[in-house]
Amino acid sequence: MQERSARAEGLLTKLVQIGQERGEFRRDVPALELAQVFRQTIFGTLLMWSLHGDTSLAERIERAMEILWMGMAPREEVTPAPVQS
């Protein structure tokens, strides 16, 4: 389980790094940290939903992602490095 978790974390971190390079994620926080927060948010949402035993999973995930995205979205003051000729 730990090996699979580490692999998943590595893949998600790489995905976030690509998003940072493309300006789709904030760059002032390391990709690994953003990936970990993403996973913790999803797992925490699943745990809370499972404790309630209702049909609100889609709504819970959607709201969690909406709030999480506000924190992961690129910041206006972060600009790409100038390209040198």
3-state secondary structure of 38: helix
Is residue 67 predicted with pLDDT exceeding 60? Answer: yes
Domain spans, the chain: 2-72
Measured between alpha carbons, how far is 74 from 72 in angstroms, rounded to an integer? 6
Tell me the pTM: 0.74
Is residue 34 predicted with pLDDT exceeding 90? Answer: yes
Whether 13 and 31 have beta carbons less than 8 Å apart is answered as yes
**Per-residue confidence (pLDDT) for residue 79, from 0 to 100:** 55
